[in-house]
Amino acid sequence: MAVAHHSHEARPRRTGEGAENYAKAIYHLWERADAPVSTGAIAARVGVTPASASAMVRRMAEDGLVAHTPYHGVRLTERGEDLALEVMRHHRLIESFLAHLGMPWDRVHEEAERLEHVISEELEELIARHLGEPTRDPHGDPIPTADLEIEEPDTRRLSDMEPGDQGTFVRISDSDPAMLRYLAELEVSPGDTVRVVDQQPFGGPLTVRFPSGERTLGGGVTDAMRVAVK
């Protein structure tokens, strides 16, 4: 179980929206690979050309947000990681608040993407207090604390589980609204118990038992679902 911990007297100063998006992208890519990330991977994640990504990475290196070693990739400095965690805290609190207001879970991500850059620290604090200091957003992603600590639970992709394996569905990528709508139609959501009943050969679909019943799920969905295994 990984815990990122930074105790600072002051939050990192706010930077431009571009740098915030890049810091968040680098954090997610690093989290997945546990190694410095390439500018190509950053460009693909942010949705820009490799040349644009390289230019932004150079600016962020000048600002002390990343360390970039040519041919070895990019990693966030402590300041850069704090920036990423702060933007993630804003994003996930906003998602939680919008869900609390009744917005469907497949739409909160897009709204939060816009609002995460403009929310004040005061409003962030009020939302957190109003929601009872939540630790997870509607998609099961951990919310960094006000001190920018984050606890990442040990999870497995549902697609890596075998018949007989069981656990708790804890999180799903929030970037594909159609997939979230599909799971909502199946009455499947984070917190549900999961038991793999059957798998079709050659990487075929999984049959999984949820509280709402047995569901047959293809690889695109099971790759995106993370399970805390019992």
For residue 5, pLDDT over 90 is answered with no
> Could you give all domains of the chain from N- to C-terminal order, each with its CATH number?
1-152 (1.10.10.10), 156-229 (2.30.30.90)
Residues 38-51 pLDDT 10s: 999 999 999 999 99
* pLDDT at residue number 15: 62
Q: What is the CA radius of gyration of the chain?
A: 19
d(CA 131, CA 78): 29
Q: Is the pLDDT of residue 9 over 50?
A: no
Q: What integer pLDDT is reported at residue 43 of this predicted model? A: 95
The pLDDT value recorded for residue 194 is 97
pLDDT, one tens digit per residue, over 72-123 is 899 999 999 999 999 999 999 999 999 999 999 999 999 999 999 999 999 9
Residue 3 has pLDDT above 70, yes or no: no
Measured CA to CA, the distance from residue 169 to residue 176 in angstroms comes to 17
- Residue 197 above 80 pLDDT? yes
Q: Would the pLDDT of 66 be above 80?
A: yes
Q: By the 8 A CB rule, do 167 and 226 touch?
A: no
Look up the pTM and report it: 0.83
Tens-digit pLDDT profile for residues 150-196: 988 789 999 999 999 999 999 997 778 899 999 999 999 999 999 99
Which tens digit of pLDDT belongs to each residue from 124-160? 999 999 999 999 999 999 999 999 999 887 899 999 9
The pLDDT value recorded for residue 14 is 52
pLDDT of residue 20: 95
